[in-house]
Amino acid sequence: MSEHIERQLQLADGLSASLRVAFASGDHKRVDQHFGSCEALMVYGVAPDRAELLQVTEFRVEHGHSVSKLETRMEVIAGCFAVFCVAVGESVFRQLLAAGVRAIRVDSGTPISQLIRQLQQQWPANADSGRRQQRREQQDDRLAELANSSWDDE
pLDDT in tens, 119-143: 999 888 665 555 555 666 666 666 6
pLDDT of residue 133: 58
Domain membership of residue 153 (yes or no) is no
Domain membership of residue 131 (yes or no) is no
Domain membership of residue 154 (yes or no) is no
**Please, what is the Cα angle at 27 between 97 and 19, to 5 degrees?**
40
CATH number, domain containing residue 45: 3.30.420.130
Dihedral class, residue 56 (left if φ above 0, else alpha if ψ from -120 to 50, else beta): beta
Would you place residue 13 in the very low, low, confident or very high pLDDT band (cuts 50, 70, 90)? low
Domain membership of residue 102 (yes or no) is yes
Per-chain mean pLDDT for the chain: 83
Domains: count for the chain: 1
Tens digits of residue pLDDT in 61-98: 777 677 778 889 999 999 999 999 999 999 999 999 99
Domain membership of residue 142 (yes or no) is no
β-sheet bridge partners, residue 63: none
User: Residue 44, class by beta-carbon neighbours within 10 Å (0-12 exposed, 13-18 middle, 19+ buried)?
Assistant: buried
Domain membership of residue 96 (yes or no) is yes
C-alpha Rg value of the chain to the nearest Å: 22
| Interval 14-32 mean pLDDT | 86
Domain membership of residue 71 (yes or no) is yes
For the cut 90, the answer to whether the pLDDT of residue 53 exceeds it is yes
Which of the two residues, 132 and 31, has the higher pLDDT score? 31
Which domain range does residue 93 map to?
Answer: 5-122
pTM here is 0.75
Which of the two residues, 1 and 41, has the higher pLDDT score? 41
What span, in angstroms and rounded, lies between the C-alpha atoms of 150 and 23? 59
pLDDT of residue 79: 92
Portion of the chain with pLDDT greater than 70, in percent: 71
pLDDT of residue 150: 64
pLDDT of residue 106: 97
Domain membership of residue 59 (yes or no) is yes
Would you place residue 110 in the very low, low, confident or very high pLDDT band (cuts 50, 70, 90)? very high
